Amino acid sequence: MGNSLNREKIIVRTSIIGILSNLFLSFFKAIVGLSVKSIAILMDALNNLTDAMSSIVTIIGIKLANKEANREHPFGHGRIEYLTAMFISLFILYAGITSLIESIKKILEPEIPSYTNISFLIISVAVIVKIVLGLYVKKVGEKVNSDSLIASGNDAKFDAIISLSILFAGIIYIFFKIKIEAYLGIAISIVIIKAGYGILKETVADLIGERIDSEIAKDIKDCINSFDEVLGTYDLIIHNYGPNVLVGSAHIEVSDKMTAYEIDTLEREITKKVYNEFKVYITGLSIYSSNNNDKKISEMKDRIDKILDNFPHVMQMHGFYLDEIKRIVKFDVVISFDDKEKYTTVKNIINEISKFYPDYEFQITLDNDISD
């Protein structure tokens, strides 16, 4: 815990250094841009300002999101980070679109920039500051393993290239009298819009709910399968309440000889192990009972498995149970999202299997392909 607090402190401190540098650069560039009438320098100032704003909102987001869970919000406040990120993205998009419009106006009604030596000097200093800042922020980000710091470090290097290109545009104008300023303004606007769109897309995806990472899903299943009593783990579902609060459920297959007490003990141990290893709260483990070690039953299961091979959208069959007394066979099939007529597929499966086993009733549960 002490370590993660320390980590948060380092991230916040580094972000504040970035914010102050960006505000400083933005301020001087804005003055230079206005005094020499350069739209590109003004847009560059705006670009630095949006960087500073987004870092500020990120810090506020982290602080709000870390608020303890309470009665009204029992899963904590982690999703606030998505809202702040969405706010940032809309702000950046607005800045980008506005600057795009301004740049286009400048192409239609060009203004002649009057570069001065001082303006070149300030842009040059800005380039150096951005490169040093970018390297520093990225190094700290790698040290404390923070994606957002690494991203903003890379972003700073990119900003240095933008400022550098403005410098070249000025030199080209002085020597050749060719004005590429406003076009550069358009290019910078597109960079800003692209950044805003990228954040918006990612945040919306987080809010809608994304498929969990294939590696993590497999690791969690492996962890549950590592218990000797567990014959298989299926239907893993994980929800997130912000980047740090993960809640989930799964289905496990166990022998039908286990007692309720034995299953209870097993479930508690699984829940504890999954939390310790992945920080995922397993809130429910549903049970499939299995009697597959019987030769006749396992033969029937293999046969049905073969029949299912003829259904290309069926990805998996699990939870197979044969009740010989009631003559009922139960199992689940995982059907791909590509299948637009899942219920018809299930009916067809039952028809097909019933040809081979006319004396049995088949109860098939349709599962969605939720995780790998």
With CB under 5 A as the contact rule, the residue among 45, 189, 367, 371 that binds Zn ion is: 367
CB of 235 to Zn ion, least distance (A): 4
In sequence order, the 6+-apart residues with CB closer than 8 A to the CB of 197 are 89, 93
Identity of the residue, 154 or 316, whose beta carbon is nearer to Zn ion in the bound complex: 316
In sequence order, the 6+-apart residues with CB closer than 8 A to the CB of 18 are 51, 52, 55, 133, 137, 152, 156
Identity of the residue, 115 or 288, whose beta carbon is nearer to Zn ion in the bound complex: 288
Q: Which two tokens stand for residue 65?
A: 């999101």
CB of 324 to Zn ion, least distance (A): 22
Identity of the residue, 55 or 233, whose beta carbon is nearer to Zn ion in the bound complex: 233
Please report the sign of the dihedral spanned by the C-alpha atoms of residue 252, residue 256, residue 261, residue 265. Answer: negative
CB of 334 to Zn ion, least distance (A): 7
126: nearest Cα among 15, 34, 56, 48: 48
Where does this chain touch Zn ion (CB under 5 A) — which range of 30-38, 83-91, 292-300, 359-367? 359-367
Where does this chain touch Zn ion (CB under 5 A) — which range of 21-29, 165-173, 279-287, 364-372? 364-372
3-state secondary structure of 316: strand
Identity of the residue, 187 or 237, whose beta carbon is nearer to Zn ion in the bound complex: 237
Q: In what order do the strands lie in the sheet with 280-290?
A: 232-240, 246-255, 280-290
Identity of the residue, 42 or 317, whose beta carbon is nearer to Zn ion in the bound complex: 317
What is the rounded CA–CA span in Å between residue 149 and residue 153?
A: 6
* Pairing of β 246-255 and β 232-240: antiparallel
DSSP letter at 242 equals: S
What is the rounded CA–CA span in Å between residue 185 and residue 181?
A: 6
- The answer to the question of residue 235 lying near Zn ion (CB under 5 A) is yes
**Helices 39-65 and 2-35 sit at what angle, rounded to 10 degrees?**
160
How many residues at the interface with Zn ion, by CB under 5 A? 4
Where does this chain touch Zn ion (CB under 5 A) — which range of 71-79, 143-151, 234-242, 323-331? 234-242
- The answer to the question of residue 253 lying near Zn ion (CB under 5 A) is no
Q: What is the dihedral of CA 291, 293, 299, 300, to 10 degrees?
A: 0
CA atoms within 13 A on the CB side of 72: 2
75: nearest Cα among 250, 243, 219: 243
Identity of the residue, 67 or 211, whose beta carbon is nearer to Zn ion in the bound complex: 211
User: Taking CB under 5 A as the rule, which mask of x and - marks residues 84-123 in contact with Zn ion?
Assistant: ----------------------------------------
Identity of the residue, 181 or 235, whose beta carbon is nearer to Zn ion in the bound complex: 235
Identity of the residue, 241 or 321, whose beta carbon is nearer to Zn ion in the bound complex: 321
Where does this chain touch Zn ion (CB under 5 A) — which range of 99-107, 165-173, 338-346, 361-369? 361-369
CB of 331 to Zn ion, least distance (A): 9
CB of 310 to Zn ion, least distance (A): 21
CB of 289 to Zn ion, least distance (A): 13
| Region 318-347 residues binding Zn ion, contact defined as CB under 5 A | 332
Where does this chain touch Zn ion (CB under 5 A) — which range of 27-35, 97-105, 110-118, 235-243? 235-243
Q: Which two tokens stand for residue 207?
A: 């809010």
**Residue closest to Zn ion, measured at CB:** 332
Identity of the residue, 102 or 369, whose beta carbon is nearer to Zn ion in the bound complex: 369
- The answer to the question of residue 81 lying near Zn ion (CB under 5 A) is no
What is the rounded CA–CA span in Å between residue 298 and residue 285?
A: 24
Residues found near Zn ion in the complex (CB under 5 A): 234-235, 332, 367
